[in-house]
Amino acid sequence: MESPQIRKSGLNLPSGMSETSLRLETFSDSFRAISNLSSPSKSSSCSDRFIPCRSSSRLHTFGLIEKESPVKEGGNEGYTRLLKSELFGSDFGSFTPAGQGSPMSPSQNMLRFKTDHSGPSSPFSPLILRQDSGLSSESSTPPKPPRKVPKTPHKVLDAPSLQDDFYLNLVDWSSQNVLAVGLGTCVYLWSASNSKVTKLCDLGPHDAVCSIQWTREGSYISVGTCLGQVQVWDGTQCKRVRTMGGHQTRTGVLAWNSRILASGSRDRNILQHDLRVSNDFISKLVGHKSEVCGLKWSNDDRELASGGNDNQLLVWNQHSQQPALRLTEHTAAVKAIAWSPHQSSLLASGGGTTDRCIRFWNTTNGHQLNSVDTGSQVCNLAWSKNVNELVSTHGYSQNQIMVWKYPSMTKVANLTGHGMRVLYLAMSPDGQTIVTGAGDETLRFWNVFPSMKSPAPVKDTGLWSLGRTHIR
């Protein structure tokens, strides 16, 4: 029978050994074992494993000496380098000098297989930042949709006896919002603000209106006649102010600058008139070999561009009575001429049926900047003063109206409606509306350009209700 002590401890001890003696011996043996491990050089007993002394080992030979982690010194430096590697690619800068890489400071070869060489790994990649266009709006914002232009005119006026003659200029819109139209022997004024029609003059049965042109202030209007005269009228009082001669035959084109009126004729000459002197003209410019059908002053009044039926475009200045430039690239009559209001010395010209091209010139050096084949006869050109665009009207064979974006010369709109050549063009004072005239004896008003303040698309509704009325 077992004793109570042995039963309580649960140990099967031999006789003569107590539990207390067992504890002391065990503690003594444990202490002795620990002493032997801490100083192996003083113990002659062998062990089943070898633990070297670090002070006597040559760990530096194997590169096993512990080094201080750069994370402890630089804080988040290692994390920052890894973040740069992920955002900008492994080639962005240098992480560490050669041979000094560490797990927290990776070399450029580490994780290189994750680099996607097919394209930038991040929207902030140097491949994007180094593009020629830089941080352009094209890459950061979607392209704007093309501006919508109404396809139909918002107003149509009947214009009986409007001539179908390529060499005449019978429509002009003043800065005071009054439209002048030459119909047969008469000139009519139509107020765009109240649609009132006024008969300005009647040249009589033996003459006819060949050209009209408002002054820039919009108070006076010049009229070129079939007999070669140039008349100046007060548009407000409907009174003739001056009559000037000098041309031998019809005066088909007129152009005002601030103080000088230029007139071109079938007699191939260009006359310059000054109302402040009593003479009919102050100078004569001879250079064309056929009828002069296009005339436009530059915006600074320094240059005068003329086009003729001899397929020539001439540029004149105030210092000589000989043309400063003689441009002969057109292969048909040059009636359409327009100076850019956005860029000095930029001139646009259009050729007739066998040419069909709009050409752009730098009048400083005479170089042709661009040429666009429109597919049909170019009758008129006009720049928008609100946006860098221009409008052209055409004859054979499509009789269309086209709006172009410059300098790309992409088509903004292609408008049709006239049944014959669109020979006449004028622009409203606010630069938003154009009026076109044709041999079909109609004047059509189109909203083609946005306002200067708001780039929003022009609306189909205008100042006047859609309808057809008579101008006389």
pLDDT, one tens digit per residue, over 118-177 is 444 444 444 433 444 444 444 456 777 778 999 999 999 999 999 999 999 999 999 999
With cut-offs at 50, 70 and 90, classify the pLDDT of residue 262: very high
Question: By the 8 A CB rule, do 262 and 271 touch?
Answer: yes
Cβ neighbours, 10 Å, residue 77: 13
In tens, the pLDDT along 393-425 reads: 999 888 999 999 999 999 999 999 999 999 999
Strand 283-286 relative to strand 269-274, pairing: antiparallel
In whole angstroms, give the CA distance from residue 151 to residue 146.
Answer: 14
Could you write out the three-class secondary structure of 278-324? CCCCCEEEECCCCCEEEEEECCCCCEEEEEECCCCEEEEECCCCCCC
Q: Name the 3-class secondary structure at 260.
A: strand
CA distances for 14 relative to 9, 26, 183, 335, angstroms? 13, 16, 144, 134
Question: By the 8 A CB rule, do 254 and 295 touch?
Answer: yes
| Most distant pair of Cα atoms in the chain: their distance | 161
In whole angstroms, give the CA distance from residue 204 to residue 206.
Answer: 6
In whole angstroms, give the CA distance from residue 69 to residue 349.
Answer: 75
Q: What is the pLDDT of residue 319?
A: 84
In whole angstroms, give the CA distance from residue 177 to residue 227.
Answer: 29
Q: What is the pLDDT of residue 465?
A: 41
Residues ≥6 apart with Cβ < 8 Å to 348: 336, 337, 338, 339, 340, 358, 359, 360, 361, 381, 383, 390
In tens, the pLDDT along 297-337 reads: 999 999 999 999 999 999 999 888 999 999 999 999 999 99
